[in-house]
Amino acid sequence: MLLIDAGNTRVKWALADNHAAPGVWLAHGAVTHADLPQLELAWSEAVARHGVGRILVANVAGNALRVQLEYVLQRAFPDLALEDAITWFASVPALAGVTNGYRNPAQLGCDRFAAAIGGHTLAPGQAIIVANCGTATTIDAITADGFFLGGMILPGLGLMAGALARNTAQLPQIAHDARLPEGFADNTDDAILSGCMVAQGGAIEHAFAQHGAAVCILSGGAAPSIAPLLTVPYQMVDNVVLVGLHAAAGVQRPPAE
């Protein structure tokens, strides 16, 4: 099966055997939205080697990207009846051992629901925080028995730094992967970086303490930059949304939107 996580900035994908454990993939990759056409070749090669009979997509980037994805998928899999093969993953009241505690379960972002399933699959029987640090940072709490309590959403590392650069007269844009200074910053670039990084790490640690979690499942493009700041136990996961999609696919075919 082909698993696709269409986020706000990048499209991540993985090819998985139907009977493989969640997170064990035959191939995987990622492209920015602008480079989406490149996936036609990658997916064509994947189907030539392994065959693809099912496609599961979590899309939080809107209808325009969905249309683009459908076009690329049609070109990559010309012999596949896509209307039957594609499932557009959506948040539901319960799936794959996770109960959705949102007031309106359908309102929960499908990526957050998939990430919760992925985290619970990787750390069964443990109270966890799932922190997915991408364009936005989402921090969610799941109980040991799989109840999704809810969480928080804040600007991601790049958005935080970019907002300061755009909306202040003399503050520069800084690279979010720059080296964090020790102690208090003695220059503006480092002060911005310190503030953004500590805000991210502090939000994760606050959620961890509030939940009484045993471990934080940490994922997303900014996760390697944020991880060194954490003083709580964490497990780095390359793409927790794809892991969750994989786990959900192994249980049942999730309802289409």
CA–chain centroid gap for 10, Å, is 10
Distance CA 140, CA 119 (A): 10
For residue 36, which of 62, 82, 71, 81 has the smallest C-alpha distance? 71
Residue 35 a catalytic site member: no
Cα torsion angle, 185, 189, 191, 193, sign = negative
Cα torsion angle, 189, 190, 195, 201, sign = positive
- What is the token pair recorded at 73? 């998928």
For residue 224, which of 161, 176, 162 has the smallest C-alpha distance? 176
Q: What is the DSSP letter of 149?
A: E
Check if the beta carbon of residue 197 is closer than 8 Å to that of residue 226: yes
Which one of the listed residues 5, 17, 35, 111 is annotated catalytic?
111
Q: Are strands 98-100 and 147-155 parallel, antiparallel or unpaired?
A: parallel
- What is the token pair recorded at 28? 């995987």
Check if the beta carbon of residue 139 is closer than 8 Å to that of residue 230: no
| Catalytic positions, written as ranges | 111
